[in-house]
Structure 1
Amino acid sequence: MTAPRPSSRAVRRRGETGTLSLLEDLDHAVFRSVARMSTPVLDEPLRRVSDFADFSKPWFLVAGALTVFGGSRGRRAAVAGLSAIGAASLVVNQPMKKAARERVRPDRHFHGVPVRRWVRMPTSGSFPSGHSASAAAFAVAVGGVLPGLRPPLRVAASVVAFSRVYTGVHYPSDVLVGATVGVLAGRLAARLALRRRPPTDLTVRGAS
């Protein structure tokens, strides 16, 4: 008697499970590679960056400076940036984290993250990274309104995102997905800001 052939749906599910397993293995492998980086000179700076980025403090400070010193274009960029943070945070911290609540934070002991890098481990789920989402959202939104600020803001956002993996509180996929959400929110916010009243000069004085 021959065994029943699995249905196409069962085969598809097995394939999806296998793919997810491979992606998770790759995710963990990259995380371990970062954990084992012998770069003690970066430990303290990146730990401080990761801590300082809590509650989007860097982006609120930049938005404040743009509001005070950037004129009407600066204020428009600040509003776009903060709006993008709000939208990205709402998407990440509500439906996405709730849907992926089973994704636990990395085990820093198990993966060998040096203790000197550690920051406070958040109690929320690991997926996706809220810090990365906020950083990308602000950088893309403000950079869309003020192109002169695009390079430094993107570098700053990338450093914040990498610091979350380096300090051991997020897997790389958490950061990549969070940053993707942030980019989408930032583009939408910049588009709305420019559509409302396109500025004639999109550079900040002294930043072009």
Structure 2
Amino acid sequence: MDLTIMHWITQAFQSPAMTAVMRFITGWGNLGALWIGFAFYFYFIKKDRRTAAFLLLAVVLTWTLNDLLIKQLVDRPRPFMTHAELPALISQPTSSSFPSGHTATSFAAMMILFACGGLYRWLGLGSAVLIAFSRIYLHVHYPSDVLAGCLVGICVGALCVKLMKQHRLKPAHDTPEK
């Protein structure tokens, strides 16, 4: 099923212009750049340090769980390594394929932005979906890697949103009793 989807995406969408766009979009996910950018925006522009902190927490927790634990345990080769007809359309990543780290981090951060509501919800969701699609398009992940990354990210993001809501309920400082 993975290969069928990848071949269909290649046949339906691949062009030099689309490849350039997908390279640009996948770059947003490199080292969590887009999500760290959102954290800086919330910290310095919106003066919302809590959201900034939870965005960074989501990125760090996702990277730790996904890249340092799950990828090491599964150790799945990337599509371009085992299917010559699907060459990597970016410089070849050296880590394992399952699950997609770009996707996991994107969906974890998206959950934080989704909790913020308004335009952030749609910017987060749209960016996460585009980054996830770019990983398949560029032949560096199977669709199942991306789906697993979505699940990891949503779970980590949901945990962070829960913690964020609990943090909101706590008083900003302790007041002495009279």
TM-score (norm 1): 0.75
Contact 2:23 2:138 in 1 (8 A): yes
Q: 1:124 to 1:39 in 2, by over 3 A?
A: closer
Question: How many percent identity over aligned positions?
Answer: 29
Residue ranges of structure 1 left out of the alignment (5+ in a row)? 1-25, 200-208
For residues 82-132 of structure 1, what are the alpha-carbon distances to aligned partners after superposition, in whole Å with 9 as ceiling and x for unaligned? 11111111111122111111x11112762345x7xx111111111110000
Give the corresponding residue for 1:155. 126
Q: 2: CA distance between counterparts of 1:83 and 1:91? A: 12
Point out the structure with max Rg over C-alpha. 1
The list of structure 1 runs, each at least 4 consecutive aligned residues, that deviate by more than 4 angstroms after superposition, is: none
Is it true that 1:99 corresponds to 2:73 in the alignment? yes
Give the corresponding residue for 1:195. 166
Q: 2: CA distance between counterparts of 1:132 and 1:79? A: 20
Q: 2: CA distance between counterparts of 1:67 and 1:169? A: 33
For residues 15-58 of structure 1, what are the alpha-carbon distances to aligned partners after superposition, in whole Å with 9 as ceiling and x for unaligned? xxxxxxxxxxx111111111222442422111111134210111
Is it true that 1:62 corresponds to 2:38 in the alignment? yes
Q: 2: CA distance between counterparts of 1:150 and 1:198? A: 22
Q: 2: CA distance between counterparts of 1:38 and 1:159? A: 14
Task: Give 1:77's match in structure 2, choosing from 20, 26, 51.
Answer: 51
Contact 1:84 1:186 in 2 (8 A): yes
Query: SS of 1:82's equivalent?
Result: helix
Give the corresponding residue for 2:84. 110
How far apart are 1:135 and its partner, in Å?
0.5
Give the corresponding residue for 1:34. 9
Residue ranges of structure 2 left out of the alignment (5+ in a row)? 171-178
Q: 2: CA distance between counterparts of 1:78 and 1:126? A: 29
TM-score (norm 2): 0.86
